[in-house]
Amino acid sequence: MDLPPPIPAATLVLMRQSGSGAPQLLMMERPGHMAFAAGALVFPGGRIEAQDHEDAARLADGSDLAALKIGAIRETLEETGAAAGLRPVPSADELRRLRQDLVGGAPLSGLLGEHRLELALDELVPFARWCPNFKETRRFDATFFLAAAAPDAPEPTAQAGEAVRTFWASAADVLTEIESGRAHAIFPTVRNLERLARFGSFEEARADAEQHEVRTITPWVERRGERDFVCIPDDAGYPVTAEPLETARRR
């Protein structure tokens, strides 16, 4: 099968506690005209840029992991105005200026110096890595990170052209919206929501992430009886490891 090369990408699952209930996740709804995951509910994130690697060399250890974390921080700030992995926590005014300059093309490394901020890459916890091999217009090799939102963080807002809305919701509530047909999401997002729905706090999610080696998950189609199923490994921490092909496509 002739597939396009995967594009390195990073995704951030930003979590905040909601009273005594399940933690809420920061979600986005993508515009319906997008080439990838049009109209879908997604976590913030996007492709890794050359500047992310340059910033990783300038501000961290220069590793691919550092570049991925920096990309996740940058994309989340651009798309939602929410900050993670920065010390101290920026004020609402600082976030607005940071976001405006990032969207305008300014490198994150220079902006951090201007605002007297530092990277806190240790706050981002590797959670998963997905690289589907189905024939799509764009194929991403996406690393997912977990991070806890600051308790007093400003409310996120959607960046025009990247999202039509941003919102906080528990994983279970997002899954309910998808199952009811009121929203849709791609296969990796659904599987990660199911995994996240089991946790009662960010600490529980982090502990689970630390118990499972982050290895690339590439779904495959398998015939079971009279139906085709989209499958993933059964030892990667996911409670659901197979879904009928027809429903996976309809999401």
251 residues of the chain, pLDDT tens digit each: 567 789 999 999 999 987 778 999 999 998 766 656 668 999 999 999 999 999 999 999 999 999 999 999 999 999 999 999 999 989 889 999 999 999 999 999 999 999 999 999 999 999 999 998 876 667 899 999 999 998 888 889 998 888 889 999 999 999 999 999 999 999 999 999 999 999 999 999 999 999 999 999 999 999 999 999 999 999 999 999 999 999 886 56
Triad 35, 40, 44: Cα angle to 5°: 90
CA distance 77 to 10: 13
pLDDT (tens digit, 9 = 90+) per residue, 178-211?
999 999 999 999 999 999 999 999 999 999 999 9
CA distance 230 to 244: 6
User: 21-55 b/e with 16+ CB inside 10 Å = b?
Assistant: ebbbbbbbbbeeeeebbeebbbbbbbebbebbbbb
CA distance 132 to 196: 20
Is the residue at 229 inside a domain? Answer: no
Nearest CA among 162, 178, 165 for reference residue 250:
178
Positive or negative, the CA dihedral 167, 201, 238, 123 is: positive
User: What is the domain extent for residue 104?
Assistant: 7-215
Is the residue at 133 inside a domain? Answer: yes
Is the residue at 242 inside a domain? Answer: no
Structure tokens at 222: 């398998």
Is the residue at 238 inside a domain? Answer: no
Is the residue at 203 inside a domain? Answer: yes
Is the residue at 244 inside a domain? Answer: no
Is the residue at 243 inside a domain? Answer: no
**Domain CATH number, residue 52:** 3.90.79.10
| pTM for the whole structure | 0.94
CA distance 221 to 67: 32
The number of distinct structural domains making up the chain is 1
Is the residue at 249 inside a domain? Answer: no
